[in-house]
Amino acid sequence: MNTAFIGRAQPRVEDARLLKGQGVYVDDLHLDGMLHAAIVRSPFAHGKVLSIDTDEASAMPGVVAIYTADEIRSVRPDGAVPRIPIRLAPLPELDAFRQHVIAVDRVRFVGEALAIVVAETAAQAEDAADMVYADIDALPSVADWRSAAEGHTALFEAAGNVAKRYVASKGQVEYVQGEYRRRATLKVQRHSALTMETRGLVADWDAMQQRMTVYGAAKVPYFTRDHVADMMGLPRERVTMIELNVGGGFGVRGEFYSEDFLVPFASRQLGKPVKWIEDRRENLLSSNHSREMECDIEIVCARNGRVLALQAEVAVDAGAYMRTSAPAPSRNVAQFMSGPYDIEHVQVVSTAYLTNKTPIGTYRGPGRYEADFFRERMFDMAARDLGIDPTEFRRINLVKAHQMPYTLPSVTGPDRHEDLDSGDYQITLDHCLREIGWAQKQSLQGQLIDGLYHGLAVGCFIEGGAAGGKETARFDAHPDGMLDLYVGSANVGQGLVTILTQIAAETLAMPLSRIRVHHGSTTHLAEGFGSFHSRSTVMGGSAVLTVAEQLKALVRARAARHLACAEEAVSVGDELVCSYEGRTVTLAELAKEPLSVTGEFPSHVHTYSYGAAAAHVTVDPRTGRVSVLDYFTVEDVGRIINPLTATGQLVGASAQGLGGALLEHIAYDSDGQLITATLADYLLPTATDFPVLRAHVLENSPSPHNPLGAKGAGEGGTVPAGGVIANAISAALSSLGVEALALPLTPPAVWQLIQHAQQQTSSCSGT
């Protein structure tokens, strides 16, 4: 039997069911006696809640209950409304900025939950929600980071508008002298993950058993379980989170939101199952936003193009509260500003400002997408100023293989040493240039052909992975020869089942069909972590590998008893068939007594995948329209478990990165009102926008920190896209003097850049 499953282009085992429409998403769930919830959300960006009148809504048909902060307070032992926990990089000083699960006296963003209405049907709940009348005394809105910094209006009177200032540093940037210096201000717009399936939950309180079951968990079910249990005053083992099929995660789904408390709360109060499914408007309003940053950056270089120092101040528009994953983007943009490059002196100060907008969280490549845009744009401007080829500029500044492990700038809060683990970054750059046809296409650079300007750009990136400390796995063998594999990881659409089955099958020399993977639900294991920070293959996969080895040892020991021989005399063959001197015993026979093993893989070291991306674009100067003729990404992921899923992740991530570069924009007006809450306003890439997206994955540099050698992958494709596209557009329009300094580069934005550059030129020639 060919047991080389790792590295095989195995089609996803998940897909047959999903493609036949047999997937079960949370809205597919219908429980007996189930009620439906709708959330009443604040129409004001900032205001004092004077009263909430629920009388008229309560009298409407089908309405069963309406809960506001008052009702929640009244049943809580401490009389307080719980607040959403911070999951990533929590610090005591961030506590002041945590959001109540339901507004208490004050609202700080449009969409903040004011009440939950429960009715017999979803339509009745929504109609009644519109009749809940909250009397809110509007306060001035802090609509951007600048007004937060000015501080005329405070979101939190005692704590101010600055949640946290992160400082990443290395060397002594203030003493660096260089022949070349350039400074610029760059901006990335607010945008975020848009999941095809909106968020939703079904909570089912079993009063007899005193047990809460919540369907619709994703990403980090154990964390959410622990906090739901604590907030409800239940032992953790009495709360069960069940993961169903998940229609897109990308960082935003599965974090702890207001509804993760409110829906179970309503179910427990009423003793009935309660379903809540958000619509698209709510989804754009209340799922975590991300990416909105402004960066004042300075680069110092030697004449030969060697970057001597990078210094930046980043203002992060963090929205109204610090929720679960809010610290990550601000922290990452500081730590990863230098990316894959060897820069001796780095200082980045990143400040998370609170504004009256939806709170931010992590979105695929958090902080890294922004950092890459800032850095790679500066690199292209510097290379052009210095007359150095942009590919050569990157080549001479990349971290070299012999420098590994390479220490990144240290960042304050929480402090932690961080090394790039392994790799030869030059290889991916060369690979990328070859694939995009850089040498052949050089003659097109900046040329106007048939009315379109052509531009080429390349950028390099790193992708961190494997956070979370450890992951757990369990194997149960059965008398029918099947193996059940239980993992703490969650399936957010990344092909988790396929990957983990491949790893288990190879380690145990077992056909894929004999392994059943169970994931994402807290019933399987006492503890687990989940899927974030590109960790499921590295941490979950290593846990499977580790526990599979433990299973083999257990099987060997039990076989020795059956075969009446010493353990070391047993030979364990394919499919865990054990033999000694011509006698054999199968796994099925050994599993007649319970055969189960649980174990974990611990690691506190992050992995760093790395790669390069390149684009060939055209720009129509009459309309500002950008066409992406070719876009290629290559990433070395340490060890490829499945080239199909790894490549698919890279292509999908590229599409999201390009969406952020060219289309997607969560816009607010100057009063903090969200004005893009439909998909007619918030533009997503469609199949026709980027017809040529290509990707390769490599495995030249295994991670030294896990038995698989795998590195986290799946987010990397988004990371370089903003910088590459902005550089390609700027290269295309270089003869006009256009420098793209802000995303997204929509047709109107590009058109205005062209107009502005032409006015500058004509006013210069006029004087």
Partner 1 sequence: MQLSSQEIISLPQDVVWQALNDAAVLQQCIPGCEELIKQDDSHYTVKLVAAVGPVKMRMQGGLEITQSDPPNGYQLQFEGKGGAAGFAKGQASVRLTAQTPDTTLLAYEVQAQIGGKLAQVGARLIDSVAAKNAADFFESFKRVVQAPPLSEAGTAQPAGTSPVDGHANTSAAPQTRSQAVWWLVAGVSAAAAALYFIVGG
- Binding-site ranges for partner 1 (CB under 8 A): 40-45, 110, 114, 123, 127, 129-135, 281, 284-285, 669, 671, 673-678, 680-681
Closer of 29 and 110 to partner 1 (Cβ): 110
Closer of 285 and 300 to partner 1 (Cβ): 285
Q: In this structure, is the dihedral angle defined by the CA atoms of residues 502, 505, 511 and 515, taken in order, positive or negative?
A: negative
* Residue 101 C-beta: closest distance to partner 1, Å: 17
Pair 10, 644: CB distance under 8 Å: yes
Closer of 567 and 669 to partner 1 (Cβ): 669
- What are the C-alpha distances in Å from 500 to residues 230, 565, 699? 32, 33, 18
* DSSP per residue, 153-170: S-SSTTT-SEEEEEEEEE
Pairing mode, strands 180-188 and 162-170: unpaired
47, amino acid identity: G
Closer of 207 and 680 to partner 1 (Cβ): 680
Pairing mode, strands 583-585 and 595-602: unpaired
Residue owning tokens 């009644």: 128
Closer of 181 and 281 to partner 1 (Cβ): 281
**In sequence order, which residues have a C-beta less than 8 Å from that of residue 130 and are 6 or more positions away?**
none
Q: How far apart are CA 451 and CA 618, in angstroms?
A: 10
Q: How far apart are CA 8 and CA 693, in angstroms?
A: 22
Closer of 304 and 678 to partner 1 (Cβ): 678
* Residue 150 C-beta: closest distance to partner 1, Å: 21
- Which residues is 275 bridged to in the sheet? 36, 202
In the structure encoding, which two tokens stand for residue 140, read together?
């001035």
Closer of 19 and 138 to partner 1 (Cβ): 138
Other CB atoms within a 10 A radius of the CB of residue 150 amount to: 10
* Residue 216 C-beta: closest distance to partner 1, Å: 24
* Residue 130 C-beta: closest distance to partner 1, Å: 5
* Residue 118 C-beta: closest distance to partner 1, Å: 16
**In sequence order, which residues have a C-beta less than 8 Å from that of residue 455 and are 6 or more positions away?**
445, 446, 615, 616, 617, 618, 619, 727, 728, 729, 730, 731, 732, 733, 734
* Residue 147 C-beta: closest distance to partner 1, Å: 16
* Residue 681 C-beta: closest distance to partner 1, Å: 5
* Residue 325 C-beta: closest distance to partner 1, Å: 24
Q: How far is CA 492 from the centre of its chain?
A: 11
In the structure encoding, which two tokens stand for residue 413, read together?
């809060």
Q: How far apart are CA 500 and CA 512, in angstroms?
A: 10
Closer of 651 and 667 to partner 1 (Cβ): 667
345 — phi, psi (to 5°)?
-120, 120
Closer of 189 and 645 to partner 1 (Cβ): 189
Euclidean distance between the first and the last CA atom of the chain, given in angstroms as a whole number? 80
Prior bond to 744 cis, omega within 30? yes
* Residue 740 C-beta: closest distance to partner 1, Å: 25
Closer of 579 and 673 to partner 1 (Cβ): 673
What letter would DSSP give residue 569?
G
Q: How far apart are CA 379 and CA 460, in angstroms?
A: 11
* Residue 140 C-beta: closest distance to partner 1, Å: 13
Closer of 62 and 707 to partner 1 (Cβ): 62
Q: How far apart are CA 569 and CA 547, in angstroms?
A: 22
* Residue 132 C-beta: closest distance to partner 1, Å: 6
Q: How far apart are CA 374 and CA 560, in angstroms?
A: 62
